[in-house]
Amino acid sequence: MFDRALERLSGDIAIDLGTSSTLVYVQGRGITVEEPSVVAVERSGTSSRVVAVGADAKRMVGRTPEHIQAVRPIREGIIADFELAEVLLRTCVERALGSRPLVKPRMIVCVPVGTTEVERRAIQESARAAGGREVSLVGKSAAAALGAELPIHEATASMVVDIGGGTTEIGLISMGGIVVNASVRAAGDHLDRALVAAIQQQHNTLIGERTAEEIKLRVGAIGGIDDGSQVRVKGRDLGTGIPRDVVISGHEVQAAYTPVLEEVVEGIRRALSRTPPELAADVLDHGLVLCGGGALLRGLPAWLSERTGLPVILAEDPRRCAALGAGALLQDPETLVRVAPA
């Protein structure tokens, strides 16, 4: 009774603190904040000042004057800059709740499986500093499986592959618990970096990672589709140092992406090889569910299906699965305990 009242006053929240984006789910309201995980900082001498957080800060990536830095505090799914991660977390929580809540909210935070004990404690501390009363951590792939509405409580196995910015999280869940979990450092950012490297090699031209991401969103694909597409981008000629236009074909883009996505395939194979045979048979029958922003790469579900021999289903709202699942856990303490990151 008292707990209920507390809940209403505080608006408990679930957070997907991702390498690329941070999503906040507020109890009773759903996802209210979706921001790029970027903080812009102005440094002068020994002091520094935060000038923007989220979308405004992302616009500054790669185009800030020297004294302003656009920082991504979470790298490869792990907090690389604690101070700024806390700023990001606090700002997103404030935006989600509107004003300072009367009572500190309970918080659930999704973390990749690869995080160490020390890193987890740091995330919990950050969440408390950002105003959390009681902070629980949950494995990102388990949250994503819940968010994708997979039947995780049944005796059948559900496989989920969450392709984010810095990591691909692979999880196999059965009867409400995590059976196999794996994290592969091959995801959206790696596609962008592979493209930067390919253009440098083939055109002797340097483009920024931001530009590489834009190319991915505009013409990015895998599996031989749209091979005739082309895109014109600006880069710096490495010979002359002068900016110039280069035309990149869809074929070149796909060639750059292939080795990165092969690592995802390899990760799925390794996860399956560690899966008990009956559960592996379930995956063969029902397939795997693809989520995370990287799942939206055109042609990916079909390509992955061909490469793994498994049916591949694209989740309905791939970028929001983990946050939705973590949000559902706010009201499901029993499952929350079972999907705690191992």
Ligand X SMILES: Nc1ncnc2c1ncn2[C@@H]1O[C@H](COP(=O)(O)OP(=O)(O)O)[C@@H](O)[C@H]1O
Give the position of tokens 């994290």.
Answer: 183
State which residue, 23 or 280, has the beta carbon closest to Mg ion: 23
Query: Is 263 buried (19+), middle (13-18) or exposed (0-12) by CB count in 10 A?
Result: middle
Residue with smaller CB distance to Mg ion, 169 or 282? 169
Beta bridge partners of 248: 231
- The one segment of 12-20, 189-197, 220-228, 332-340 that binds Mg ion by CB under 5 A: 12-20
CB of 237 to ligand X, least distance (A): 26
Site for ligand X in 5-34 (CB under 6 A): 18-21
Nearer to ligand X, 105 or 220 (CB): 220
Query: What distance in Å separates the CA atoms of residue 32 and residue 50, rounded to the nearest whole number?
Result: 23
Stretch that binds ligand X, among 24-32, 161-169, 202-210, 238-246 (CB under 6 A): 161-169
169 binds ligand X (CB under 6 A): no
Which stretch, 18-26, 60-68, 191-199, 239-247, contacts Mg ion (CB under 5 A)?
18-26
- Would you count residue 18 as binding Mg ion (CB under 5 A)? yes
188 binds, among ligand X, Mg ion, none (CB under 5 to 8 A by kind): ligand X
At 44, which amino acid appears?
S
Say how far apart CA 333 and CA 174 lie, in whole Å.
17
Q: What are phi and psi of 16, to 5 degrees?
A: -105, 95
Q: Kind of pairing, strands 135-139 and 107-111?
A: parallel
- Binding at 19: pick from ligand X, Mg ion, none (beta carbon under 5-8 Å per type): ligand X
Residue 105 near ligand X by CB under 6 A: no
Site string for Mg ion, 272-311 (x = CB under 5 A): --------------------x-------------------
- Whether the Cβ atoms of residue 172 and residue 158 lie closer than 8 Å to each other: yes
Q: Which of 11, 105, 165, 287 binds ligand X (CB under 6 A)?
A: 165
* Exposed e or buried b per residue across 62-84, where buried means at least 16 C-beta atoms within 10 angstroms of its C-beta: eebeeebbbbbbbbbbbbebeeb
* Cα–Cα separations (whole angstroms), residue 265 to 208, 225, 259, 302: 27, 19, 10, 13
Pick out residues in 61-90 that bind ligand X (CB under 6 A).
Answer: none
**Restricting to residues 276-295, which ones interact with ligand X according to CB under 6 A?**
292-294
Q: How far apart are CA 299 and CA 213, in angstroms?
A: 17
- Site residues (vs ligand X, CB under 6 A): 18-21, 164-166, 188-189, 213, 216-217, 220, 292-294, 296-297, 319
